[in-house]
């Protein structure tokens, strides 16, 4: 689960950086590039959430006894 946590932290840090860039672009009145940065931040965090859910499911599955061993 440490990998999932680390992936999530990196995704949040990347999203935060992209949002800062978007804010700076908005100050320069470059709305199109700012929108692209916000969109990239959203995709980054969604990807991290998918990875966390997948790893959580694998961890839970590993904890459950398999049907063949009963």
One pLDDT digit (tens) per residue for the chain, 70 residues: 577 677 777 877 888 888 888 778 777 777 778 788 888 888 877 777 777 777 777 777 777 766 555 5
Number of domains the chain contains: 1
Structural domain that includes position 48: 2-65
Residue 14 forms part of a structural domain = yes
Note whether 16 and 60 are within 8 A (CB).
Answer: no
Residue 70 forms part of a structural domain = no
Residue 24 forms part of a structural domain = yes
For the whole model, what pTM was predicted? 0.44
Residue 23 forms part of a structural domain = yes
Distances (CA, A) of 38 to 42, 43, 44, 56, 69: 6, 9, 10, 27, 49
């Amino acid at each position: 689960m440490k990998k999932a946590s680390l992936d999530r932290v990196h995704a949040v840090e990347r999203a935060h950086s992209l949002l800062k860039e978007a804010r700076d672009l908005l100050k320069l009145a470059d709305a199109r590039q700012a929108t692209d940065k916000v969109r990239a931040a959203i995709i980054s965090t969604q990807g991290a959430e998918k990875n966390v859910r997948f790893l959580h499911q694998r961890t839970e599955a590993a904890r459950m006894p398999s049907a063949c061993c009963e």
